[in-house]
Amino acid sequence: MTEQPESGPDVRRDRLTRWRLVLGGNEADGVTGPDGAPVSLSAEDMRRDGALDALYDSERRGGLGGSAPRVSRWLGDIRTYFPSSVVQVMQGDAMERLGLRQMLLEPEMMRAVQPDVGLVSTLIGLGQVIPEHSRETARAVVRQVTDELEERLRQRTVQAVSGALDRSARTRRPRMRDVDWRRTVAANLKHYLPEHRTVVPERLVGYARRSTRVEREIILCIDQSGSMAESIVYSSVFGAVLASIRSVTTRLVVFDTEVVDLTDEIDDPVDVLFGVQLGGGTDINRALAYCQDKITQPADTVLVLISDLYEGGIAEEMIRRARSVVGSGATMIALLALSDSGQPSFDADHAAALAEIGVPSFACTPDLFPDLMAAAIERRDIGEWAALNDIVTTHETTQPD
């Protein structure tokens, strides 16, 4: 039996919409429906149309070329609104039309562009279409930016995390060499003897002796969606810094519909970034399942999910998995973005559902991330930490007026 071609109003409307997107610009004025009215686009189709116009409209050609952040956002948009086969074609066209190939091939032009996180996001987004002989140039730019970020963020991160580990290791039965005398005196002021002008310490406060054992396990679980490119850049740098702290073991996992463990490359942010495959679908539940399997000491584990929470898999399973992680005793945090780019786009329903089971969800700037990790290591209330730092959590944004 021969299969009948699809027909009906929905199919005709879909075909007309496709023609409208193909024509774009003023040429689209002639696309009308059966009733003679112009074909209207949905909000999502309008965003598709904008992404196509930015690349293919002859009057706007090259319009993104002068701004790395704009190119980066455009790359994220096309991965959101088009299938991977179309994205590959558009990325290849962008290399020529937006002047990116020339930028990569000419050292003088590359030096004229200010290397920053936006440019790095663009380069890793174009990783699959960068010519082989241009990869070293691209890696050099990425190396410059990640080295600068690491220099800026390393000291504060190491101090915050190491200090939190020390405070967590405080003991009431320290050896004399490990007594914290300032805190000991403060804790025993009620035992002050005026006649002897001294304090009789009934309770010593100090630090446990330093050991080489691992005291905390940190897992950075990073969404590879195109919109998360800037967050991936910062995560790779923080991963390298955390991996250098001996008393912390750090695992770095990236995911789309597949899960890739990049822990072996964690010492070098550049290797991490060029191991990322931006785009594709999103299966957060699968990523959480992988990370959960790697947790060996739940009470000493901090799992940081960095994602916009647009789950492409089964959302109910994702929430159940997160509840299981929290129930095991591990600390779990959902960062909707790790960047300086302002309020991110995210799935508010999923963020609220995570907040209800004890997983705080909010965006975090790189400058605050070290303090966030310190709070998590000390097992402080992350919601209170966020409030003290004027960070609005999704729990607050979803409360009724």
Per residue of the chain (401 residues), give pLDDT as tens.
444 445 555 555 566 666 666 655 554 555 555 655 666 677 777 777 777 777 777 444 444 444 445 666 676 677 777 776 777 677 777 766 766 666 666 655 555 566 788 778 878 877 766 777 777 878 888 899 999 999 999 999 999 998 888 777 554 555 565 666 777 777 777 777 787 778 777 666 655 444 445 588 999 999 988 778 889 999 999 999 999 998 899 999 999 889 999 999 999 999 999 888 776 678 999 999 999 999 999 999 999 999 999 998 889 999 999 999 999 999 999 999 998 876 788 999 999 999 999 999 999 999 999 999 999 998 999 999 999 998 887 655 444 44
pLDDT recorded at residue 194: 81
Say what the pTM is: 0.69
Picking from 345, 284, 337, 288, the residue whose alpha carbon sits closest to that of residue 315 is 284
pLDDT recorded at residue 66: 44
pLDDT recorded at residue 298: 95
Name all domains of the chain by residue range, CATH numbers in brackets: 41-130 (no CATH), 155-162+214-397 (3.40.50.410), 170-207 (no CATH)
Q: Quick one: tokens of 199?
A: 């304090």
